[in-house]
Structure 1
């Protein structure tokens, strides 16, 4: 089976072109291929599929085999793949996901996609839609305890659930210790992606992320969007803010007129391969 390894800001996935390949059990395959010692090594598996409602369909599986609703870094790589590999000649591409159709604007340089601007949709704040186990139309500065420490979280969905909190020194913060506990807190019935954020100034944030099903990753697109939305709600940044991740930087805009969040960032190839197992 042919595959392509790609990454967006270091958030790396194995991509399979399902126009050419057949994947019978993507959950099991995600576990095997994502293993960094015995497999390809990745944060998960993404399938590029035909769609009846959009130009393409994306399915995304975490490293533990669980299927996720959306992946911001992953969808940028899908946009680059379908254009660079000749599956489309459009520079505006629609991609179907479990949380609806996303529109990608491809920035093409010398015949190849360099950066991609993704319409990530509107943030969702209602408790039952995130979901969280209690709350109303907005969960801001909710106290959750982990490992004897209290954290104040702002919770929202960007197609998948996010909990955003703030720390003073992101570089030395123990993301694994606290993220692994908060991910599975009873407040989050479907588990949660946890974003730890340090404010640099009104238009620049630093973020590290613990992704449900994958652990700490170098970047998370939906998480970066959630980080900026939460920071606006907490009065910590402007609506157009750059976010520094372990794997690179993303520019996020929360448009005040249409309430939609836009993410701009790179997508890169790592290598092509053949899965013999």
Structure 2
């Protein structure tokens, strides 16, 4: 499946027993010798009474992560098409809390990503107190970065032009910077006007992807905290556009975008 080109292998771990090991994920994610994907998603039975499913995410390098917004939209379409659920709003348990998924028309899915976490210890990010931006050193150069958790850690930089964004150098360095103890997804955001931005993301454990849903949410939160964006923003990513709404602190972030099937098959694990 894919959400704006951010592609996934999705496994039904409800009707069959599945045990995934990191080395298997790494092998399967290889685009030449495996199936090829940015992340692997597992649909599992719920682990608590007030949710419909458990949602687990593995990056291409085999590491398990807490959240994936594009994957959440694919998750919603998958469980609906496979008739694993029949209700308008689906509650899903992730490693960092519960999110709500709502299927719309023409493959569009709205995800309630929950409230962003801005306290440094909750992201996690090494800083003494919350702030709209922090100065961070990369090879002797100081960058202003916003740190946000959408259930997974994000760093967001505002730049002049996403086409020349230094993802492979600055993005890769910040992804594993010591101030992000659990590593982070690094977004490079160009603000065209308060209701429209362009974004590229260097994802933790996957490199640059065609789209990052949680990264789009984090970018809008970061822009709002800096006083640069409206409450509803269209985010243009390399794979397509998402609509993000955040009404400010104390409110959840809503993300709307498409999800699609590519092919189905069987693989022996």
Shorter-normalised TM-score: what interval? over 0.9
Matched, 1:142 2:134: yes
Partner deviation per Cα, 1:222-250 (whole Å, 9 max, x = no partner): 11100000001111110110000011111
Query: What residue in structure 2 maps to residue 192 of structure 1?
Result: 184
RMSD of aligned C-alpha atoms? Answer: 1.5
- In the aligned structure 2, how far is the partner of 1:45 from the partner of 1:234? 34
Query: What residue in structure 2 maps to residue 174 of structure 1?
Result: 166
Query: Secondary structure at 2:148's aligned position in 1?
Result: strand
- In the aligned structure 2, how far is the partner of 1:149 from the partner of 1:171? 20
Query: What residue in structure 2 maps to residue 161 of structure 1?
Result: 153
- In the aligned structure 2, how far is the partner of 1:256 from the partner of 1:211? 25
- In the aligned structure 2, how far is the partner of 1:26 from the partner of 1:105? 31
Matched, 1:94 2:91: yes
Instruction: Give the TM-score of the pair, scaled to structure 2.
Output: 0.95
- In the aligned structure 1, how far is the partner of 2:47 from the partner of 2:124? 28
Partner deviation per Cα, 1:101-155 (whole Å, 9 max, x = no partner): 111111145xxxx11111101011111111112221x232212232453321011
1:241 to 230, 233, 253: 233
Partner deviation per Cα, 1:247-271 (whole Å, 9 max, x = no partner): 1111000034851110001001111
- In the aligned structure 2, how far is the partner of 1:262 from the partner of 1:141? 23
2:14 to 11, 19, 27: 19
Partner deviation per Cα, 1:194-239 (whole Å, 9 max, x = no partner): 0000000110000000111111111111111000000011111101
Query: What residue in structure 1 maps to residue 77 of structure 2?
Result: 80
Contact 2:224 2:248 survives alignment (8 Å): no
Instruction: Give the TM-score of the pair, scaled to structure 1.
Output: 0.92
Query: What residue in structure 2 maps to residue 263 of structure 1?
Result: 255
More strand by percentage: 1
- In the aligned structure 1, how far is the partner of 2:266 from the partner of 2:153? 34
Bigger shift: residues 139-148 or 63-72: 139-148
The unaligned stretches of length 5 or more in structure 2 are none
Partner deviation per Cα, 1:57-82 (whole Å, 9 max, x = no partner): 11001111111011100011010001
Query: What residue in structure 2 maps to residue 3 of structure 1?
Result: none
- In the aligned structure 2, how far is the partner of 1:13 from the partner of 1:141? 32
Number of aligned pairs? Answer: 267
Matched, 1:218 2:218: no
After TM superposition, the runs of 4+ consecutive aligned structure 1 residues lying more than 4 A away are: none
The unaligned stretches of length 5 or more in structure 1 are 1-5
